Structure 1
């Protein structure tokens, strides 16, 4: 032997060493040195090659060899880089899997996959691809032009077989679902994509996936929801495929709502996809769904049943439905069951049969004994043969039929239920009306039929009648009301409305246009308190009638249109109100309360312009007629006034207007002026007046003059004037006359001047002429009886004008 041999004896453990020959010793050393050098010559290039292939990739020839071998298994891929794994496998970067060899339709994309390469089998010319795996990878499945379904944290191992692909294990995260899968896929070729979708179909598909993503994102769980599946799928013979799927989670939250349990089990066998169970449990009750689909057909069936108290789901809905659910409370669990048939042979069609039975529940403050509904819908026709709603003091019954093929819609409804219980269900427009109503005793007796081309309100003609007992509308109390009605083109017509209140009644027609927000009154006659009921017409109508305060309700005949859209630049309002009253009407004008007795007149509203015509009335115990035109578009309205007074009590006028006593007489006059409300300085106009049979010198501004002249003309202050007249103008806060004349049998007062009624300042010149022979004698010295008055109206100071 050339090498040392060491022998260990079991008994003596004695070492025996054979002597070494010097040449052999040299030869051993030489061979040893030569072996280390040769080994280095082999290992160093090998290590460098492995490192190069590990970091810079395999040559194109190896990549082509791999793609050819995969194509032999009907797997068509492309890779960016192919790297050598330290264990002898291959790492494929950015691997893309295609449906067809032309590589036009992408099936999925993987950021990195490991492929086990059997080098010895390759050397022997045998199949060398046996398995593949991915570890903590991201996989994208194209879904539309811009959308992808992204799988995260993918860990999977696959075995390639002669018939397909064995999934030894696969784990991935999709949205908030943890997938745990295993099984087998048998194929001769990957399944080709179906027919090209239209742009509309693509949009619906993409929108559906986005909704799924949104809904999944709203489910909160401590851990991902686990979905386990086993499958044996044949791409060439789908009918032989089998699969089983199970999903389960507890104590999840959806949109803030506690979901106690969510479970799903489904299977595929003999060409039938069966949803064995989909159930949702909340705090009270459960919803269950079952279904089947023959995968070779374009039809499926679903059946469901529920006694789920769904009111805890209120936070998950949009505000309108959320508010409605908050008002709902079930003492007994609500029962719902039904069946859905789906058919997408040509276009998607859904048929539904539904039975609903709710007992002992409350909505708001109203307790309901029962709500039952039977419904059938086949995608074109809807039938509700019986819907019933019962409360302790009312009932509603409804029948509906709709055929979309004709199209034709019919309905019949009877009700004695208070309609305000439906607040929050039918939109803002209905809520505005219902919130304005209050029925303290019982609901209206309502009966109607409907027909049209659809179930939309604008396409229906509704006819019926309604009778109400005591009710409040916009906080205005009414004793009762009756009317027939029609609804057409979003217009509610009450042709023969009769409404009663304590003070009287109203009869006539009303047409309310919901679309254009107008109210039209047709031959409406009322002796109701117009100020109290004015809010019923809405808009600014209460402001329009509030200045006219009647001691007892007048008889009003109303005809015309009221536009309720206050924000419009030009209103369509054109309303006439004829007034006939045997009582009094107080009208506050210029900060003075004028009381008209037995007024007969007319109010005319056009756009934002008001014309008040008083044809006949008593004012200050005399006759009065006039016209007021007013622009009511501004808080301080511009106006024009023309009026005439006949045989008015001058004493009453002085008392009410100037708070002055001691003056008597009969007044006749007329005037025309214009201005702005609450702005006395803006008044501008002219007029004339005459006063007869009175003690005129007791007028406040003449009181001081009477005392002065009494010293010259005995009993001047008590002389009864038989006539007085003056023309006057109104301008810039004053009234001015240039031809004031006051006559009695003994004297004549002739004057001119003005009164600043804003500042209460008198500036007046008066000359007293004695009538008769004495007057002729005194005429040469008549200038001695000229006086100038100044000061406030109640305390004018008179001084001789020429001294």
Structure 2
């Protein structure tokens, strides 16, 4: 059939126009609607359709996507009652409209899809940066009347992959609870912000963790939330304060009860296995756990401000078993925890402890640990501990040497332990009660038993004592100290509050320097020169201040039957039976030696010695009674031909280690002595033997002299020697260090020779500027008379 040309023309052009519209107009329109969006109030109408009584939805742009249909962008959700309060924002929201209802002029949305969407939920009204960000959102939400079904919703929150499905009833009634104004109730959004920030510090090198959950909830009754199953799993988790190799949590929340049958955490050395249940209706939670995780890294990381925690290291994973019950009925949760702890090896400040463990319980703020056990290479510590409000109780039995625990004590105790040595394990039992950890509030008692021990280098073989602690004072009673054949008994109180050491009824046969070294090394240094042949008997009573020597008041009675050695002028004096009283008053030691057998005679000494290191002075008053003159000259001058006895008195002042600079005075008397056996006077035997024959070897009846000491020399003005048939008078000085002489002597004959030589007595005056060993006497008046050398007088057959 032939078509009319006009009809054919119109039909052909219509087809061309239709093709242009299909292939050009439709894509162009679609592109325009996608880029520019749909106007005419469509986005407002869809926003109103998505809104409800409690929330308001605003769409920034509504576009038409050829593949996804209507696409809402820049969607903002606000609270209806508070328009300034944004509940969240998201993009790429695909909307499906019920076309059948649209034909009846009703705009009803029955499906919302999200793809490659992101959301941002504010978590703080005051901090705009505090936001919960959800990335890579994919999911489909089906709206069936008052029921909203999430077939599957996926997204990434703080690096965690979330997969959620479930239903929400009465979704239009949803409202977000306002921020809590009460200080004792934490804002849920603030808690969520804290959790988000904490999760942001984690990294997941092997991929993000996965949280999968199914739920059902009625928006009118949020407490109806039902989670039949949820699961959180992750491989390695890294944090700057600690790492985990894996985590897995499985649980459910139904009928107001949270059940967690599986909680598992792993690190490179162990794992934590736990389970628990929280009944919200009963406000009660219970849990149990078994852990073999190594907490060292986490403790160091999360408790970096604690110096003690930084010194703690578990070289092997400890085991922790615990059962917990928590009641939330009151404002402050009530905890009840029981369990046990065991650590094979623990280091604290590089000190090793093994088999560390205990059983423990914590309830209503009361902590109790029993069967506490700590071992070291040289001992163990066992005990029980009770801690409650204003109630601290501790019962311990310890065989660990305190020096092994030096890292656990403060600086002052550390200084004491640093100067102490234990070659054997101690045995210490103590029971303490207190309101806190302050030593001043502690009450207790115990028993101490030590083996061979040294304090400040002074050793003792054993120590045993009872002790009590009260009023910041540790009092040791029934003390028995043994060292060699020596023993010491009595009581000692270390009063930390008054900073003093009190000694009561101390009886000792120990080495005095050792005893004083234990008490106060400053006092020990002052009595070190007194070297007893065997330990003397001591009776000690009084106190010594720990810091202020001016508060010292200590009395010591000394009885040394076998005597002692003492160095004077670089020579050792060996005393026999010696009795003395020593008083330590303020910062001085006053020693009163009432009897000291020396060289066949007796010596009495009253000495006053300063223990002030800034003023190390001492003075003494020494009385000699009939000492063997021969022994004395042999000791100090190296000759023993002199005879007789010497008596005298000497008072002097000096500084420690500067004895040659001493200042003093005294007097001497020699009876029945052979004075010419002294090298100093030996040359006069020649003169007397020539002038008065027969007097050379007669002993002097008496020789006396008063003297002074100063400027490193001994000076005298009245030397007088009386013998049978002669007398000698002299004056001068002797240098202490060199023995140099500056001395004059005059000889007077007695009887008929004295009358004969009296007119020329000046001719028998002599002068010496030699030394004690070689005096070099020469006459004053007649210089041509030969000079006499030193040495003792010669016997007749040797002339």
**Match of residue 274, structure 1, among 227, 236, 259:** 259
Residues 1:238 and 2:222 are matched in the alignment: yes
2:269 maps to 1:292: no
Equivalences for residues 358-369 of structure 1 within 5 A: none
Counterpart of 1:461 (choices 427, 443, 462) is 443
- The alpha-carbon deviation at position 650 of structure 1 amounts to 2.7
Aligned equivalents of 2:120, 2:478: Cα separation in 1: 74
Could you say which residue in structure 2 is the equivalent of 1:755?
734
Higher mean C-alpha displacement, 423-432 vs 724-733: 423-432
Other structure's SS at 2:661 match: strand
Q: Which whole-Å CA distance do the structure 1 matches of 2:190 and 2:575 have between them?
A: 75
Structure 1 match to 2:754? 775
Aligned partner (choices 601, 606, 611) of residue 627 of structure 1: 606
The correspondence for 1:491, drawn from 464, 470, 473, is 473
The partner residue of 2:570 within 582, 588, 591 is: 591
Structure-2-length-normalised TM-score: 0.74
Indicate the residue corresponding to 1:786 in structure 2.
765
Q: 1:156 to 1:661 in 2, by over 3 A?
A: farther
3-state SS, counterpart of residue 547 of structure 1:
coil
Residue 553 (structure 1) shift: 0.9
Of 311, 324, 349, the residue aligned with 1:339 is 324
The answer to whether the 8 A contact 1:650-1:663 is kept is yes
Q: Tell me, what secondary structure is at the counterpart of 2:164?
A: strand
| Structure 2 residue 558 is matched with structure 1 residue 579 | yes
Partner secondary structure for residue 702 of structure 1: coil
Secondary structure of the structure 2 residue equivalent to 1:652: helix
Alpha-carbon shift at residue 489 of structure 1 (Å): 3.6
Q: 1:570-604: CA deviations, max 9, x gaps?
A: 57543332211111212334433232222212333
Q: Secondary structure of the residue that 1:553 maps to in structure 2?
A: coil
Report SS of the residue matched to 1:339.
Answer: strand
1:500 matches 2:482? yes
Q: Is the 8 Å Cα contact of residues 463 and 481 (structure 2) preserved in structure 1?
A: yes
Q: Kindly state the Cα deviation for residue 686 of structure 1 after the two structures are TM-superposed.
A: 2.1
Measured in 2, the distance between the counterparts of 1:155 and 1:675 equals: 93
Residue 509 of structure 2 corresponds to: 527
Distance 2:598 2:196 in 1: 78
C-alpha displacement at 1:434, in angstroms?
7.8
Once the two structures are TM-superposed, the CA of residue 718 in structure 1 deviates from its matched residue by 3.2
Q: Which residue of 1 aligns with 2:529?
A: 547
Which residue is 1:652 aligned to? 631
Relative to structure 1, is the Cα distance of residues 549 and 709 closer, same or farther in structure 2, using a 3 angstrom cutoff?
Answer: same
Q: Distance in 2 between matches of 1:801 and 1:545?
A: 49
Aligned-partner Cα distance in 2 for 1:195–1:227: 31
Distance 1:767 1:64, change over 3 A: farther
Secondary structure in 2 matching 1:656: helix
> Matched residues in 1 for 2:191 and 2:263: separation?
24
**Structure 1-normalised TM-score?**
0.73
Please point out which of 203, 207, 226 is paired with 2:209: 226
> 1:743 and 2:727 equivalent?
no
**What is the rounded CA distance, in whole Å, between the counterparts of 2:185 and 2:776 in structure 1?**
98
Residues in 1 aligned to 2:274 and 2:755: alpha-carbon distance in whole angstroms: 121
Deviates more, 1:359-368 or 1:764-773: 359-368
Q: Rate the CA distance shift 1:84–1:260 in 2: closer, same or farther, 3 A.
A: closer
C-alpha distance after superposition, 1:759-799 (max 9, x if no partner) = 44221122222233322332332222222211333222222
Residue 686 in structure 1 maps to residue 665 in structure 2: yes
Structure 2 alignment gaps of length 5 or more: 784-799
CA contact (8 A) 1:229 1:246 kept: yes
Unaligned runs of 5+ in 1: 8-17, 19-23, 25-30
Q: Work out whether residues 728 and 747 of structure 2, in 8 Å CA contact, stay in contact via their aligned partners in 1.
A: yes
Task: Give the superposition deviation at 1:709.
Answer: 5.5
Q: Alpha carbons of 1:372 and 1:187: their partners in 2 closer, same or farther (altered >3 Å)?
A: farther
1:90-144 Cα shifts (integer Å, max 9, x gaps): 7769x8x887844788878x8x96677999999x99589967788688877449x
Aligned length: 740
Q: CA deviation at 1:457?
A: 6.0
Residue 557 in structure 1 maps to residue 539 in structure 2? yes
Q: Are 2:453 and 1:472 equivalent residues in the alignment?
A: yes
Q: Which residue of 2 aligns with 1:642?
A: 621
Determine helix, strand or coil for the equivalent of 1:718.
coil
Alignment of 1:600-749 (within 5 A): 600-634=579-613, 637-707=616-686, 710-714=689-693, 718-749=697-728
Partner of 1:12: none
Quick check: 1:340–1:353 contact (8 Å CA) kept in 2? Answer: no
Partner SS, residue 626 of structure 1: strand
- In 1, Cα distance between the equivalents of 2:531 and 2:193? 66
Distance between the aligned counterparts of 1:291 and 1:196, measured in 2? 31
- How far apart are residue 308 of structure 1 and its match? 6.3
Q: 1:395 and 1:403 mapped to 2: Cα distance?
A: 26
In the other structure, the counterpart of 1:13 is none
Superposition map of 1:191-210 within 5 A: 191-193=176-178, 195-198=180-183
- What secondary structure, in the 3-state scheme, does the structure 2 residue paired with 1:241 have? strand
User: Is the 1:187–1:236 contact (alpha carbons within 8 Å) kept by the matching residues of 2?
Assistant: no
| Structure-1 separation of matches of 2:382 and 2:716 | 77
Q: Take 2:676 and 2:46, find their aligned partners in 1: how far apart are those partners?
A: 130
Kept in 2, the 8 Å contact 1:138–1:152? The answer is yes
What corresponds to 2:789 in structure 1? none
Q: For the Cα contact (< 8 Å) 2:717–2:732, is it kept in 1?
A: yes
1:286–1:795 Cα change, 3 Å? same
Q: Is the 8 A contact 2:312 2:346 kept in 1?
A: no
- C-alpha offsets along residues 436-490 of structure 1, whole Å, 9 cap, x if unaligned? 46464x763x66655555687654432344556x443547665554433222244
8 Å CA contact 2:206–2:235 kept in 1: the answer is no
Change (3 A) 1:335 1:190: closer
